[in-house]
Amino acid sequence: MQVSVAKNTTTNYLVMLIRFFQGLLVTCWMLYYLGDSGYGLWMLLWSFFGYAILVDFGVGIAGQKYTSHELFKRDIRHYNNIVSMIFTFHALMALLLLVGVIVASFYLEPLFNVHDPERLAYCRKCFFVFSLGTVALFPFSVLNEILIGLHRIYISNYILAAGRILELFGFLAILKCGGGLLEIISYEVVILFAERIAAGVFVVRLIPGFRIRMHLFDREVFHEVFGFSSGTYFISMARLLRVQTRNPIISKYCGLDSVGVFNLSGRLSDLCNQAIGQYNNNVRPVTAQLFHRGRFRMLRDFIVKSMQWNMFMCCLVVIPAIILRDEAIVALFKKEVTPLIHNLSLLSLIGAASWLAITQIPSSVLLMCEKHHLHAWTSMTEAVVVILLSILFLRSGRSLIWIEIISLCASMILFASVRFPVMLKIIHGKPLRDLFSIYVPALLASVPAVAVLLLCRKLLLGHVHNFLLCAVCGTSYAVVYIITAWQFLIGRTKKELWKRRVTIRVRKYLKKG
């Protein structure tokens, strides 16, 4: 299990880097060859179908849960029925999406704000090719959930990485040969189909007897799948509501300029989320498997170590981001830092740290350990309260800062009153001991590193470019923090084990040499 978690996490970071550079290059190429309108249409099409998650209704993650329970080893027929029902439900939702596509096609002129008949006809072709391809692929999303449930996230990542690399070279070839957005979209659909086929091949090889078919609903399987999925759907909806309603609320009461300021202030926290959160894909499938097997001691150790890892990464990434946030914003976004941006970015980074180090893993435990309904109702209540209080405070003329404060307070209250106590009950943990082991050592290890960072910042501020200042100070902090974390976070037994492994590998390398 440790090997698969390490491979999953490593390949998550690999895919993150590939997607970052691929997205950067594709954006530059599209803007150069297709112009603002072509790139705008490409992004608009992707944004439309990003909302396809709303018709998943949380059913997809049920495939991950029952795969993690290794149901296919005990009753392959029942497992196939569950996966087939998920596939059938997604196929029906794909038909619903198809109806939406047909209806939307009659309103493309005002939607795209394109009035030239020839240009509109071309946009309609692009819309239909992209839409039909996306709709046809939607039922097969369960294959990726199965790979996650099998703890084979790294296989999904290999497929995704290969797809993004092929996509990159294919886009360049098409654009160099004079192709347009329609050819780009057609090639993208082919790549996505190839990714689904590859995922299906691996699933069939990993699960002997796996079969997927159109399966009419029967009461037992329906109750089993949708009893879990209903809670998952409400959790997803709650998070979507909290995130997606912020911009409209700010726009209504504070104007579009405030929307821009608020989102700019959150860009650093978004980058920190991407840098830290790659490990957390492992938590759900491993938690579901250990809970189902009744291995609560192993579950407790895994959850505590996972939260320790998140806390370690938060201290490694978020603390220097907080201290260097003004210089980082100027260096990355070429934007003057006002007092509002200064304070908003601080609260946004604290909120990101609280989500990663406090909220995310307990939420995964509740979801996969038969407490999904409790988690769903508390999450929806939290979302509604945050939205209502945000409207109330902004309507009364309060600062944007209150949006972040309200959200942070709501998360902390829920953690202390519901999520952490229930999680401890599930994993048979001890509150004071676990809280201390999760949070205190990482914070203590960061103290010397913070001192070095502040000293470097004081010496370099005003003498070098902001980007160089962030690079030097951040690297100094990371080196000192890793050294001190070795002393605070790693026990004597593990130190000896790692030293022994390194010594053995060095000796093997020297012998080969």
* Domains of the chain by residue range: 1-226
Residue 442: is its pLDDT beyond 60? yes
Residue 243 CA to residue 245 CA, distance in Å, equals 6
The answer to whether residue 34 scores a pLDDT higher than 90 is no
* More confident call, 348 vs 213: 348
* Cβ–Cβ under 8 Å, residues 58 and 229: yes
Q: Which residues contact 287 (CB under 8 A, 6 or more apart)?
A: 299, 302, 303, 364, 365, 368, 369
Instruction: Confirm if 352 and 345 have CB atoms less than 8 A apart.
Output: no
Q: What is the pLDDT of residue 498?
A: 61
Greater confidence (418 vs 279) lies with 418
User: How many other CB atoms are there within 10 angstroms of residue 455's CB atom?
Assistant: 12
* pLDDT at residue 491, rounded to an integer: 59
Q: Using CA atoms, how far apart are residues 23 and 174, in angstroms rounded to an integer?
A: 16
Q: How confident is the model at residue 70 (pLDDT cuts 50, 70, 90)?
A: confident
Q: Which two tokens stand for residue 428?
A: 């048979």
List the helix and strand counts (H, then E) for the chain. Answer: 24, 0
pLDDT, residue 350, reads 92
- Using pLDDT thresholds of 50, 70 and 90, give the confidence band for residue 3: low
Alpha carbon distance 121, 244 (integer Å): 32
**Average pLDDT, integer, range 166-177:** 90
Per the listing, tokens 């029952």 go with 66
What integer is the mean pLDDT of 506-510?
A: 65
Token output for 364: 């995964």
Q: Evaluate if residue 77 carries a pLDDT over 90.
A: no
- Rounded to an integer, the average pLDDT of 53-77 is 75
Phi (first) and psi of residue 275, to 5 degrees:
-70, -30
Element of type H or E holding 406: helix 401-414
267 pLDDT exceeds 60? yes
State how far the Cα of 385 lies from the Cα of 410, in Å rounded to an integer: 8
Spatial contact of 136 and 54, defined as CB atoms under 8 Å apart: no
Residue 458 has pLDDT above 70, yes or no: yes
Average pLDDT of span 408-418: 89
Q: What is the pLDDT of residue 209?
A: 87
Please give the share of the chain, as a percent, with pLDDT higher than 70: 88
Average of per-residue pLDDT values in the chain: 83
Mean pLDDT calculated for residue range 400-405:
89
Q: Give me the pLDDT at residue 186, please.
A: 92
* Statement: the pTM of the whole predicted model exceeds 0.85: no
Task: Match 């978020």 to its residue by tokens.
Answer: 318
Neighbours of 92 (CB within 10 A): 14
**Residue 170: predicted pLDDT:** 92
What contacts 24+ positions apart, CB below 8 Å, involve 198-205?
198/159, 198/162, 199/140, 199/143, 199/144, 199/147, 199/155, 199/156, 199/159, 200/140, 200/143, 202/147, 202/152, 202/155, 202/159, 203/143, 203/146, 203/147, 203/150
Q: Which residue has the tokens 């030239």?
A: 116
Name the band, by pLDDT with cuts 50, 70 and 90, for residue 512.
low
pLDDT reading at 470 higher than 70: yes
Which string of DSSP letters, residue by residue, matches 156-201? HHHHHHHHHHHHHHHHHHHHHTT--HHHHHHHHHHHHHHHHHHHHH
Residue 105 has a pLDDT of 80
- In this prediction, residue 372 carries a pLDDT of 79
Q: Is the pLDDT of residue 513 over 80?
A: no
pLDDT given for residue 158 in this prediction: 92
What confidence category does residue 347 fall into, taking pLDDT thresholds of 50, 70 and 90? very high
pLDDT band at 453 (very low <50, low <70, confident <90, very high): very high
Section 6-22 average pLDDT: 83
Q: pLDDT category, 475, cuts 50, 70, 90?
A: very high
- At residue 12, the pLDDT reads 82
The whole-number pLDDT of residue 449 equals 93
pLDDT of residue 462: 82
Q: Is the pLDDT of residue 490 over 70?
A: no
* Helices 219-244, 372-395: inter-axial angle, 10-degree rounding: 20
| pLDDT, average across residues 19-31 | 81
- State the pLDDT confidence band at 227, using cuts at 50, 70 and 90: low
38 pLDDT band (50/70/90 cuts)?
confident
Tens digits of residue pLDDT in 357-402? 888 889 888 888 878 788 888 888 888 999 999 999 988 888 889 9
User: Where is pLDDT greater, at 335 or 510?
Assistant: 335
Q: Is residue 235 predicted with pLDDT exceeding 80? A: no
39 band by pLDDT with thresholds 50, 70 and 90? confident
Q: Which of 383, 407, 412, 388 is nearest to 240 (CA)?
A: 383
C-alpha triplet 158, 162, 166: angle, nearest 5°: 170
Q: 506 pLDDT exceeds 80? A: no
| Residue 496 banded pLDDT, cuts 50, 70, 90 | low
pLDDT digits (tens, 9 = 90+) for 97-127: 888 888 888 877 777 777 788 888 888 888 8
pLDDT winner (highest mean) among 53-67, 98-112, 465-479: 465-479
pLDDT number for residue 477: 93
